[in-house]
Amino acid sequence: MYIQTENLRKSYGSGDSRMQVLNGISLEVEKGRMCVILGPSGSGKSTLLNAVGGLDIPDGGTIRVGGQTITGLSPSALSEYRRETLGFVFQFYNLIPDLTVRENIQVCQYLSKAPLPMEELLDTLGLTAHQHKFPSQLSGGQQQRCAIARALIKNPALLLCDEPTGALDSKTAKEILILLEEINRKYGTTMLIVTHNNAISSMVHQVIRFRDGQIQENYANPSPVPAAELTW
């Protein structure tokens, strides 16, 4: 298995205000699969994503990614893990406003020893004609494409997506999902996608449903529906 967590626990606060956000989470995700994590706000899904991404330190349990145990790593080792292994895509694009599309992508290109070809990536994401524009000159969908390109230029083995369509209208959201599907097929990128959108569960290989810090449901989808056919 590419991603494995065992008895993962995380809480915030102390005393009467202490809240258990992850309560013994154990799961596995195969390499090259698209996996969606569903659940209401506060169910623990984003905390899990942040823990796998080395951004949140769990209280207990273990996380292994690609055979490497990341729980217990030093801050510098975690930084190297994020740089070498991960790409992050968030609901809000976090682009640098004073840099063009191409320059925003280059920020992460320089972090990689073996980046993807810039021109190929721009073409795949439909950004070639927009590469010299600034974020303020782009639509929301184009900004998210730029954010995805910035995450992918490093050629990460694992792409972590936190509500990647949350700020988009349904038409643009579907375009982004089609794009993620194409990236998975073309590059074999393993993906963890946190979302409120239940429709996305139809297009992925694995569905994990959270509730109150625990896994309520975890199943494989033997016949994913093409993203172009999703409705919501």
Tens of pLDDT, residue by residue over 146-157, are: 999 999 999 899
pLDDT in tens, 11-27: 998 877 888 999 999 99
pLDDT at 196: 86
Write the class of the CATH domain 3-226.
alpha beta
Q: Model-level pTM greater than 0.75?
A: yes
- The residues, ordered by sequence, that sit 6+ positions from 224 with a Cβ below 8 Å of its Cβ are 34, 202, 203, 204, 205
Phi and psi, residue 56, nearest 5°: -115, 135
Residues in the chain: 232
Phi and psi, residue 203, nearest 5°: -100, -5
Amino acid at 58: P
pLDDT in tens, 48-81: 999 999 999 999 999 999 999 999 999 999 999 9
pLDDT at 209: 96
Amino acid at 18: R
Closest CA to 21 of 63, 54, 1, 50: 50
Domain ranges of the chain: 3-226
Phi and psi, residue 76, nearest 5°: -70, -35
Q: In whole angstroms, what is the distance from residue 12 CA to residue 198 CA?
A: 27
